[in-house]
Structure 1
């Protein structure tokens, strides 16, 4: 198949492109500038240049392109979001960006649209001890500052599912980790990545496992369906930082009072302390024939640390 991907140059996008190409698919990446073009071409993918928030420019850039599938891996996050303002451009990408990419999908003749979603659409709060399935309410307001992000995630999925003549598929990823291990190690060494003393269980997924699930959705996903893409076990934010510190030899994360994090970084505080959820990946396992290679964060961090050591020593 020919696959058009937006967001194909990031920590998740690159392994998706690599896996698609290895699976015999042709890949065209949408990127905003020459560095992205150079990266995509170095992977043996094609590239077109456009800002997905500029619909006319996007349609011009994809004129004459033909694709069977369009993938949206759009975010504006260069680092972990700490404040609600840090999420707003990503919210726009999930609303306006998705609408523009769907217009491009129709123009290039695509019949399938895979969109990046997140398990946090189930809610930024303690969701109890029962594993959440895709049938749970998604994107519902909870009466606080997180509602704008929930609305954007809901709009993203609804647009994909409602697109006429296109099979829309949503992948609800857990917190992504793995390919950014060097950046997190650096933050731990520079003492810029704190944690709180306690925290809720969070669903995670390694970048490489998320990429494998995305390719599985390209090949086997069913239109109108969402799939949870998470590892088999949840872990607190603090526990994951401790594992990264141990695996890389970085200093342990320093602990700050929860009230201080809530004041200085209200969005980040939710990840460190406020959110707790267990999420089932049974549907993705059964329907996409996918399973995470890294079943736990401990396994994934260890594998990424080994890869990081081998790359820095060579």
Structure 2
């Protein structure tokens, strides 16, 4: 098939493009920087320089590529994390999830594209009530932190627009990425002991290795039906469990602990909620309907062996 990857040089795009090429697909991939076209060529794609917020340019690029499937992987998080001002940090990504999504869907309609696969997220946006692990049928948080309201609205817009479009619209809610190109900043914080356990660390997180996220995306492109899928590993876990394990895996001292009353003024509401009230996600639907299994079934092995090593676990090679 002809595949148009919008956002081919992001952390996930760089892992996705070569997998699509290896599967026999003809890939056109976008970048906002002319200086990165060589990288895309090296990955096996035909590069095109386009700003995802320029509707005319997006429409022209899609029309020239004439793809069977569009994969929306456009994000913009190059700056250092700013969780206290989350919406400001995510401002461009939010624009890509709203205006960028509209441009891609309009281009798909104009060019007769039959399927769109779009990146979403599962984690802080899950409802903080009920059980610790959420399925795709569970609601998103109706009352996000003030600093995340715009980001939540952008996620809701993307998911609604893609799944309600007159084509096969697939939304992939990826868990927290780790692996080469995705987790270096988190590891630096852990090594510097700047990522404490807040309160009892009862917030549950779900992770996914970049290579497993790429494999799931290929599965969605090739055989996915319309709908929303959680793309996470098999092992959602509370912060109090995974954070010390990560510290040990990277040779750092155990994380410090911070009471909620102190964390709130120091780190902000986003951090406190995520660390104490977060909910994980189930991957049962993706495994069942996409015929996909994460090679790194748990962050336990992934943190020890997959943070910098690009080679998948032995059982997943082939």
Normalising by structure 2, we get a TM-score of 0.86
Per-residue CA deviations over 1:135-172 (Å, capped at 9, x if unaligned) read 2224x6327524332221111011112222x2100111
1:94 aligns with 2:94: no
Corresponding residue of 1:65:
65
1:193-272 equivalences under 5 Å are: 193-199=195-201, 200-223=203-226, 225-263=227-265, 264-272=267-275
1:145-156 equivalences under 5 Å are: 145=146, 146-156=148-158
**Contact 1:52-1:58 within 8 A present in 2 as well:** yes
Mark the CA change 1:50 to 1:259 in structure 2 (over 3 Å): closer, same or farther: farther
- Distance across 1 between alignment mates of 2:191 and 2:159: 38
How many aligned residue pairs are there?
Answer: 304
- Distance across 1 between alignment mates of 2:91 and 2:263: 20
1:1-314 equivalences under 5 Å are: 1-78=1-78, 79-83=80-84, 84=86, 85-120=88-123, 123=126, 126-129=128-131, 131-138=133-140, 141-142=142-143, 144-145=145-146, 146-164=148-166, 166-179=167-180, 180-199=182-201, 200-223=203-226, 225-263=227-265, 264-275=267-278, 277-305=279-307, 307=309
SS at match of 1:286: helix
- Distance across 2 between alignment mates of 1:95 and 1:148: 11
Mark the CA change 1:270 to 1:86 in structure 2 (over 3 Å): closer, same or farther: farther
**Contact 2:123-2:281 within 8 A present in 1 as well:** no
What is the aligned-residue RMSD (CA, Å)? 2.5
Q: Which runs of 5+ in 1 are unaligned?
A: 310-314
Q: Which runs of 5+ in 2 are unaligned?
A: 312-318
SS at match of 1:227: strand
- Distance across 1 between alignment mates of 2:208 and 2:40: 24
User: 1:190 deviation in Å?
Assistant: 4.0
**Contact 1:50-1:58 within 8 A present in 2 as well:** yes
- Distance across 1 between alignment mates of 2:239 and 2:8: 27
Moved over 4 A (4+): none
Mark the CA change 1:38 to 1:156 in structure 2 (over 3 Å): closer, same or farther: same
User: 1:21 deviation in Å?
Assistant: 1.1
SS at match of 1:116: strand
